[in-house]
Structure 1
């Protein structure tokens, strides 16, 4: 079986953006799947030119059995028009939640690609419900399959060892912001205000920013093990992978109620859902720090192993051929 993978959301050499898509594709390749990858991994609108040209070339002339497009009409439009082979579309979050509301054209294009898909994968039940109610997806042709976690990479290690390797101070309470502050939708402004409120009471609190171009992805587990709490303040998410990675490292979490964060966190010890408001977030962070314990969330998310998720996607492929 050969799959033509199309995505406008693929990481470059110094970016985490779309890393979960790259990992999922590589996991399937490790299971023996043959792929052709047509991806946009550079910033800027001009990068769409070679991306579109490659799309057209491989869709018309390539040899493949299935097209799997990641991220709505931006990746699936030409595949939906040409439609030489079965089409699967994975919606990751904003492509279902934010993009259709931008303007009528975006909404029409999203509804078009949804109507042309043989099967749709939604990364959370919330995204599935939006696709059905707002974009006309057929409930019989949609599955909820999120992105898996590499439990060999993301695992607990002693905090002191992680801090020593990274050169982090041993006497500070480290509060992790897990994204690029320049991405407005991640709401670094809210995170920063919450930390400022805490620092008025406790000068030992120090923010840590996990953003593009600062550290290689292989060091992300070290950062998570070095920190005391991860704080997610985004306006919207589909199925935030960073929440699962943190739980795999037993890092406590304070998160706004976005995507499937509430569902994934569930009853994990010392993890809290909060309002998207600095005072409430600061209160939850303070509660985590005062508790002074790691979570045991790793045991709650074994069902999210990358091997299991890969198996579920491969089964979808087999069903539609």
Structure 2
């Protein structure tokens, strides 16, 4: 089976690491994956890629197209001709992009409306990250699959905390917390984590917050292993991969009620859901500190097995969807 992955290349480093992991997992299962990267910003920038993709498809033969995220999916839909198309919607493309006050601009509302229109009325087969996203598409007639991205449990694994702290050069006498995104991404709500940690410092807790981004995937295990907890103060998420990466490294988590995080961490000791105010969030961080002192680490890798989050299992499920989509296109 030969599949064309279509997604944004605006990061400047090729495919998004999550999508790249998915591609490699499928390749290991025998699927031939080509990659078509979209370059350009805004509706106008993406529009010109429709013609580029059509030209590419005339020169190459595929069994189907798999597009990831918002406007990349629209480009694929408008360029695909008769080829079957599977789209994966990742989070903000369905949930919207909010500012630091939790508000959505008029422009982002328009983008959200366009993505919803295509998701409900145009795409034949859609993958979403969680049940809330699926519920937004209740009017769809085609299949809607809930399938979050997998995690590489060989790349992400717990290492001794002392070794991790030493590798990063972090003070072993204080509690370290990690925020795994660019602080300037408004939907990730970094100020809440910052204010909560600041409040703890004011109350005498020896704590430090680290914003981790643009770090190589193979180095992230050190951060998860050295941290007392991962902080997720986001306004919205789909199915954040950082949760699965934290699971793989048995790292405790403090999070707001976003995406499928509460569902995936349900009844898992060492994971704490927090409100959207600094004091309430800091109180949950204190619980994480106490958990670290008394019990150490969570049983995250057990949760990965329970929820089938390993990349190998996710790849097998995607291949099954490919087969169904290819079969239906012949009917």
Aligned to 1:117: 123
The residue correspondences of 1:1-321 to structure 2 (distance < 5 A) are: 1-8=1-8, 12-13=12-13, 18-40=16-38, 48=46, 51-72=49-70, 74-82=71-79, 83-98=81-96, 102-104=108-110, 107-108=113-114, 110-112=116-118, 114-132=120-138, 136-138=139-141, 141-212=143-214, 215-291=215-291, 292=293, 293-302=296-305, 303-321=308-326
Q: Structure 2 unaligned runs (5+)? A: 98-103, 327-331
Q: CA RMSD in A?
A: 2.4
SS in 2 for 1:169: coil
Instruction: Describe the superposition over 1:219-241 as per-residue Cα deviations: whole angstroms up to 9, x where unpaired.
Output: 11111101111110111100011
Instruction: Describe the superposition over 1:19-69 as per-residue Cα deviations: whole angstroms up to 9, x where unpaired.
Output: 2111111111121111221124x7855975875453232244431110111
Relative to 1, partners in 2 of residues 1:199 and 1:106: Cα closer, same or farther, differing over 3 Å? closer
Kept in 2, the 8 Å contact 1:97–1:127? The answer is yes
Relative to 1, partners in 2 of residues 1:150 and 1:301: Cα closer, same or farther, differing over 3 Å? same
Relative to 1, partners in 2 of residues 1:182 and 1:128: Cα closer, same or farther, differing over 3 Å? same
User: 2:303 and 2:212 mapped to 1: Cα distance?
Assistant: 24
Relative to 1, partners in 2 of residues 1:47 and 1:26: Cα closer, same or farther, differing over 3 Å? farther
SS in 1 for 2:73: helix
1:311 to partner: Cα distance: 0.1
User: 1:149 and 1:232 mapped to 2: Cα distance?
Assistant: 18
Kept in 1, the 8 Å contact 2:270–2:298? The answer is yes
Relative to 1, partners in 2 of residues 1:104 and 1:207: Cα closer, same or farther, differing over 3 Å? closer
1:105 to partner: Cα distance: 6.5
1:204 to partner: Cα distance: 1.7
User: 1:53 and 1:91 mapped to 2: Cα distance?
Assistant: 22
Kept in 1, the 8 Å contact 2:95–2:112? The answer is no
User: 2:115 and 2:31 mapped to 1: Cα distance?
Assistant: 30
1:118 to partner: Cα distance: 2.7
Instruction: Describe the superposition over 1:164-223 as per-residue Cα deviations: whole angstroms up to 9, x where unpaired.
Output: 1121111111011111101111111111000000001235211111122xx322111111
Instruction: Describe the superposition over 1:50-107 as per-residue Cα deviations: whole angstroms up to 9, x where unpaired.
Output: 75453232244431110111013x0122332343211111011111111698344652
Kept in 2, the 8 Å contact 1:87–1:116? The answer is no
User: 1:76 and 1:249 mapped to 2: Cα distance?
Assistant: 32
TM (normalized to structure 2)?
A: 0.87
Kept in 2, the 8 Å contact 1:123–1:238? The answer is yes
Kept in 1, the 8 Å contact 2:94–2:115? The answer is no
User: 1:144 and 1:187 mapped to 2: Cα distance?
Assistant: 26
Q: Structure 1 unaligned runs (5+)? A: none
Kept in 1, the 8 Å contact 2:50–2:76? The answer is no
Relative to 1, partners in 2 of residues 1:311 and 1:137: Cα closer, same or farther, differing over 3 Å? same
Kept in 2, the 8 Å contact 1:10–1:18? The answer is no
TM (normalized to structure 1)?
A: 0.89
Kept in 2, the 8 Å contact 1:154–1:248? The answer is yes
- Matched pairs, number: 311
